[in-house]
Structure 1
Amino acid sequence: MQTFTSLTSSSRGLPLVAAFVFFGSLVLYALTLAPGLLWGGGDFATFQTYAYLRTIEVPGGIFGHPLWVILAHPFTFLPFRDVAWRANFAAAVFAAGALGVVFLSASYLTKSRLAALLGAGALGLSHTFWTYAVMPKVYSLNALLLALCSYLLLRWRDKQQDRYLYLFAFLYGLSFLNHLVMVTVAAGFGGFVVIVLWQRCQFSKVWPPLLLSGLLFGLGFAPYLYLLFHGASASSAGETGLAFLKGLAYPLSNPQAMLKGLGFGGLLGVYQFPISTLFGMVGVFFLWRRDRAVATLIILGMLGTLAFMLAALDPAAGSTYVWNLHYYLQAYVVFSLAIAGGLGVVLVDWCARSARRQAVLIAVTLAFPVLLYAAAPSVARTFLQNLPDFRQLPGRDNLVYVLSPWKQQETGARDLGQDVLRTLPPNSVFIADYSVWAVIRYLQVVEKARPDVELVELPGPGQQAPILLRYRNAPNLFLADTYRYYDLQDIQDLFEVIPAGSVYRLEKKQTLN
């Protein structure tokens, strides 16, 4: 019986197969892409606006992700669809590029194109990766940068040409211009380099390439440092780093928090790779025995991400752990190499001569996760109607939004934004929380809609009274919502809150409560 094992070790034609991975995944992401303007929650509408404006600095300091803005900006000139869709499409291109590079790395690592295809496919169809391939945030570009860095290190080791190490060092330094979370893989990259140089020590001197690599890393890192100090954000960045170090101690002294962090992280990891997690574990085991450098990169890269996430458990970190689980994406990228390694072992030992077994392997690796994500919202709905503390937004089913990665039905933000602007009379003042504010801001800034409306972002609870008092005498004053983000009691002390279509008119009370 004919099998698929002809997809084996030859490097001839690898770029062509990588191109197939790129374009195939890009088609999938384009079909499931968020169709346009998104909500401000999660910063999606803000990323769409900044991609258009090419904004890398904001009042108070650096936006935090200049490289994404710079690389996404050219997509806003595409001659089709709206700017929001084009920004979303940029994320899809970055994600597809990451998968193409992961395929190349896995091919060099496993000498099996089928194992490499399945490893890249498992990553591309995983929930978090797919989610951020169809919405505009920095994580798909982060995945591309991480994949490129890993690929360059593998080529450096295999070709024994230090130019690959130099390219890696510069690119890794530059990657911090996209997101500082790249620091989580530093130990993995460092461990790989040390092991390879140790193995080469008797054949060549190691200090010159190390020193030059350090200089090139600094050169790549320099733009971030410039923007950091130019935007007067150095002190806040230092405070963030210090808070992270303090946060590491919290789960160590709080076993319950540690169990929570490990439990959520483990469950989410299995949700990404419901069957291929087993292949990844097999891959780590065999790589540790056969390729200590790559195993070290994978293990330390994953542990670095885990440490970062455990530090986020500290209440002093100022965020909720379960809403930061997307940061595990770094670990999933390196783990996909372990999945490919494990699949390479399984292909040889279990199904090298059986097309039926290979078909089963392909199905459980690629088809099962998609079926799981399709069924998960319906299964979850038998236990709950909405996710705790998750805001109900027009046009969105929260269970589908969270549990399924495809976002082609996300049209509620534009529908609401346009309805709000149609409702508001001329020269209105519109006060909105960030999620709605970012939608209206996009429509005003990018599409030049209703410049007569003064848009005001409502600060957090407990800080809203000064804003309300400032606009108390405005003749046409409107509020976006009465959700828990709003100090409704303070608002009702000053105004009559009157529903007006999709918004609320605020009528000044003559006598204050």
Structure 2
Amino acid sequence: MFATRSSSPGALMAVQAPAMRPAVPGLALRERVAAAWKGHPRRVDAAIAGAVGLLVFAVYNATLTPSLSYVSPDGNELATTSYTLGLAHPTGYPLYTWLGKAFTFLPVGDVAHRVNLLSAVGASGACVLLYAICRELALPRAVAAFGALFFGFSTTTWSQATISEVYAPNLFFVALALYLMLLWGRRQRNPEVALHGDLGSTILFGAWAFTLAASTGTHMSNLGFLPGYGVYILMVNWRVLKQPLVLVPGLALFALGLMQFLWLPIRTVMGEPAPDPINPATFEGFLNYTINAFPQFKWAFPMELLPDRFILYATLVRWNFGLPGILVGFAGAAGLALRRPRTFILLALMWGVHTVFFMEYRAMDIDVFFIPAHFLFAVAIASGVWLVIRGIRRPLARVPAGGVIAGGLALLVLVLPVRAQLRYNYATHDQSDHTEINDFYENVYEMLPEGAVLLGSAGVFGYDMFYYQYVYDVRPDVTIPSAGLAFGQRASWPTDGRPRYSVDPSGAWPTRFRPSAEAGEWGIPVLVTPAHDRKLWLRRDLVLYRLSSTPPNLIDDEATPGIALNLSLDGVTLVGADLDTTTVRAGETVKLRLYWRFERFAQAGIILQVGEGDDSPIARRQPGAGLVERYDREVAPVRGHTVVEEFELVILSSTPRGVQPLTIRSAEEGATPLTVANLKVE
């Protein structure tokens, strides 16, 4: 009935062998992942940094400006000169120009779109380096990733990552130089290396020196970081001054990085026009074009205004990180001072010199100049967040399930601020449908008659107009007198009787930038392009004017509108309108005629809008083409008569396909729109 126990050794071993543990699905995989996580920390960090960079780049790319933009006053110039390898405004930005040229070979979008991608890549790369810097400061991976994402989605950085500008690529080189210096500093902890140096120390020091010097080709203000670096080098290892094998190659590479500025006189001698009256081919002009550029902007405020300027800076920091971010950053800075005093002094000196200099700098777009300071402060914020998480863990360490609770709270601390940055800043910086500048000028060059003359600003602010001729050689028969002129210079008209047009003769430009139309000419709007109601530098509208020495015929009492509107505007009535068609291809135009009756001259104006929603593009117009007061004064009374204006209205290429309402309303706040027609956009 019962089996007899075998006495053989093999049978005995079989009986005594422990039972095999059943395989748990996924356990082996988790163990391998855990082993890889512990055994290959650099690979793990590289993977996380790469994921952070790809995520940030994906968001930037989704919100990237399709082509030209007015978000920056310089962006259209930088996109154009990158393609032509021309001279940008002072300080010339050679490195940016060369990098931009490389990006113009990408097989996506148009040339300006490709240069916009340079900014997206530069800002994403800076976020990767922010992660690496946080890891170098011994912050946990999750905290380092938080710091990179929280900074990457901050408002000022994001605003510069979607357009052609120097600030995002410059930030990459600022971050790279800082990371290389921290790596060099870590290597000096080896007493033998600190005393005698080695090949690795020489390479890191030389790479740092070259990167810092090269970064002046994206922004000259990076030279202001030298005092901080100098103090750090002396604190970490003053003996480097006695190590010629480290110091001499570093100085040589620094000089090599600065030699990029020879590009400016070379291109000038080759005949490339400079967008500034300064001639960089002379020694004095070279200095004034580079290191002494914009003296009127530097140290522009007296000492008694310094508190006000600091309040301005603090406001900009709050816009980017919020008040909690500022408080956490202060705590993190204090923590860094205790844990890494030398690194803290380096970061503090870099931040302090940079911040004070630009608090004393007079510029329209002052917020973007503080981006490197925001980057340095983001390191402190990441350090402060780690202090917060540690503070959460300690009291929960002895609580049942305290580890789970602490982990959940830490996750909220890391995720919610990044989510808030994305939520609040995405819509603000989504430029992906901002095609108005390109749509405007494509229709301008199509509309202009053969041999026309087109007037606009010279220098930096004229490159929206120059772009198509310089890059794509569009309409070479059209003469642009301001092309090739220096910044602030006025163009003179050809006097051979050719048809004349202007993109803005109405005085919207500051005096020193204003086009010089002949006195007494009439600027008659013939092409109007709606624009997204965002920051458009130096102009409110995209309008093409036909210039004429004779007044237009505004009065037509026999005209009858096909669309009755009867919109009252404080003494002015928009009687009605006519459209030549209600079916239009996106990017093309419809001819719009408006009929007015004047009792007095209104100041409010009207707003034309294509599409629904607050973010739809709008065009602001003055009743009667903005000419009725002068017409009434110089030609004929308009009161009691029907005033008719007619122009082509551009339907943006980014307009959603399908039926879109064309509405008109008073420019006064809260006005109710009237629907002129429902357009079928194809």
Q: Does 1:235 align with 2:272?
A: no
1:393 paired residue number: none
CA distance in structure 1 between the aligned counterparts of 2:344 and 2:294, rounded to whole angstroms = 26
CA distance in structure 1 between the aligned counterparts of 2:341 and 2:488, rounded to whole angstroms = 54
Q: Does the 8 Å CA contact 1:130/1:406 hold for their aligned counterparts?
A: no
Shift of 1:237: 5.7
Q: Does 1:423 align with 2:447?
A: yes
AA partner of residue 126 (structure 2): A
Question: After superposition, where does 1:347-496 map in structure 2 within 5 Å?
Answer: 347-351=389-393, 353=403, 354-373=406-425, 404-433=428-457, 437-457=462-482, 464=490, 467-468=491-492, 470-481=493-504, 482-485=506-509, 491=517, 493-496=519-522
Shift of 1:169: 1.0
CA distance in structure 2 between the aligned counterparts of 1:409 and 1:172, rounded to whole angstroms = 36
Q: Does 1:185 align with 2:225?
A: yes
The 3 A distance-change label for structure 1 pair 416 and 483 is farther
1:381 paired residue number: none
Structure 1 spans left out of the alignment, 5+ residues: 1-5, 314-320, 375-399
AA partner of residue 184 (structure 1): G
Shift of 1:66: 1.2
Question: After superposition, where does 1:87-236 map in structure 2 within 5 Å?
Answer: 87-160=115-188, 161-162=200-201, 163-198=203-238, 209-224=246-261, 227=264, 231-232=280-281, 234-236=283-285
The 3 A distance-change label for structure 1 pair 439 and 247 is closer
Q: Does the 8 Å CA contact 2:153/2:425 hold for their aligned counterparts?
A: no
CA distance in structure 2 between the aligned counterparts of 1:226 and 1:81, rounded to whole angstroms = 28
Q: Which deviates the most, 154-163 or 282-291?
A: 154-163
**Residues 221-242 of structure 1: CA deviation (Å, up to 9, x unaligned):** 2222564687426424645756
CA distance in structure 1 between the aligned counterparts of 2:351 and 2:344, rounded to whole angstroms = 11
**Residues 444-488 of structure 1: CA deviation (Å, up to 9, x unaligned):** 222232121112339899964xx34x4344320111111422779
Q: Does the 8 Å CA contact 1:494/1:509 hold for their aligned counterparts?
A: no
In terms of fraction of residues, the more helix-rich structure is 1
From the CA coordinates, give the structure whose radius of gyration is larger: 2
Shift of 1:285: 0.6
Q: Secondary structure at the match of 1:475?
A: coil
The 3 A distance-change label for structure 1 pair 147 and 243 is closer
Match of 1:43 among 74, 94, 97: 74
The 3 A distance-change label for structure 1 pair 273 and 233 is farther
The 3 A distance-change label for structure 1 pair 12 and 349 is farther
Q: Does 1:266 align with 2:323?
A: no
CA distance in structure 1 between the aligned counterparts of 2:482 and 2:518, rounded to whole angstroms = 19
Q: Does 1:504 align with 2:541?
A: no
Q: Does the 8 Å CA contact 1:126/1:369 hold for their aligned counterparts?
A: yes
CA distance in structure 2 between the aligned counterparts of 1:135 and 1:360, rounded to whole angstroms = 32
CA distance in structure 2 between the aligned counterparts of 1:95 and 1:506, rounded to whole angstroms = 44
Q: Secondary structure at the match of 1:500?
A: strand
Shift of 1:442: 1.2
Shift of 1:215: 2.9
Shift of 1:206: 5.4
Q: Does the 8 Å CA contact 1:62/1:228 hold for their aligned counterparts?
A: no
Normalised TM-score (structure 2):
0.62
Q: Does the 8 Å CA contact 2:457/2:515 hold for their aligned counterparts?
A: no
In terms of fraction of residues, the more strand-rich structure is 2
AA partner of residue 55 (structure 2): G
The 3 A distance-change label for structure 1 pair 373 and 20 is closer
CA distance in structure 2 between the aligned counterparts of 1:453 and 1:471, rounded to whole angstroms = 12
CA distance in structure 1 between the aligned counterparts of 2:110 and 2:253, rounded to whole angstroms = 39
Q: Which has the higher contact order (CA 8 A, sep 6+)?
A: 1
Q: Secondary structure at the match of 1:446?
A: helix
Match of 2:45 among 5, 9, 14: 14
Shift of 1:130: 1.0
Q: Secondary structure at the match of 1:284?
A: helix
**Residues 97-148 of structure 1: CA deviation (Å, up to 9, x unaligned):** 1111111111121341111111111210111111111111111111110111
**Residues 358-403 of structure 1: CA deviation (Å, up to 9, x unaligned):** 23212343122233336xxxxxxxxxxxxxxxxxxxxxxxxx7xxx
AA partner of residue 444 (structure 1): Q
Match of 1:79 among 71, 83, 107: 107
Shift of 1:188: 2.2
The 3 A distance-change label for structure 1 pair 237 and 185 is farther
Q: Secondary structure at the match of 2:114?
A: helix
2:15 paired residue number: none
Question: After superposition, where does 1:298-317 map in structure 2 within 5 Å?
Answer: 298-313=347-362
Q: Does the 8 Å CA contact 1:499/1:505 hold for their aligned counterparts?
A: yes
Q: Which deviates the most, 283-292 or 430-439?
A: 430-439
1:378 paired residue number: none
Q: Does the 8 Å CA contact 1:131/1:405 hold for their aligned counterparts?
A: yes
Q: Secondary structure at the match of 1:457?
A: coil
CA distance in structure 2 between the aligned counterparts of 1:489 and 1:141, rounded to whole angstroms = 33
Shift of 1:245: 8.4
1:345 paired residue number: 387
Q: Does the 8 Å CA contact 1:248/1:307 hold for their aligned counterparts?
A: no
Q: Does the 8 Å CA contact 1:437/1:456 hold for their aligned counterparts?
A: no
CA distance in structure 2 between the aligned counterparts of 1:471 and 1:104, rounded to whole angstroms = 58
Q: Does the 8 Å CA contact 1:250/1:311 hold for their aligned counterparts?
A: yes
RMSD, aligned α-carbons = 3.4
**Residues 307-328 of structure 1: CA deviation (Å, up to 9, x unaligned):** 2213314xxxxxxx34222110
AA partner of residue 31 (structure 1): A
Structure 2 spans left out of the alignment, 5+ residues: 1-34, 189-199, 270-279, 395-402, 528-542, 552-633, 635-682
CA distance in structure 1 between the aligned counterparts of 2:243 and 2:373, rounded to whole angstroms = 29
The 3 A distance-change label for structure 1 pair 504 and 348 is same
**Residues 130-177 of structure 1: CA deviation (Å, up to 9, x unaligned):** 111111111111111011111111111223341211210121112212
CA distance in structure 1 between the aligned counterparts of 2:502 and 2:296, rounded to whole angstroms = 39
CA distance in structure 2 between the aligned counterparts of 1:45 and 1:204, rounded to whole angstroms = 44
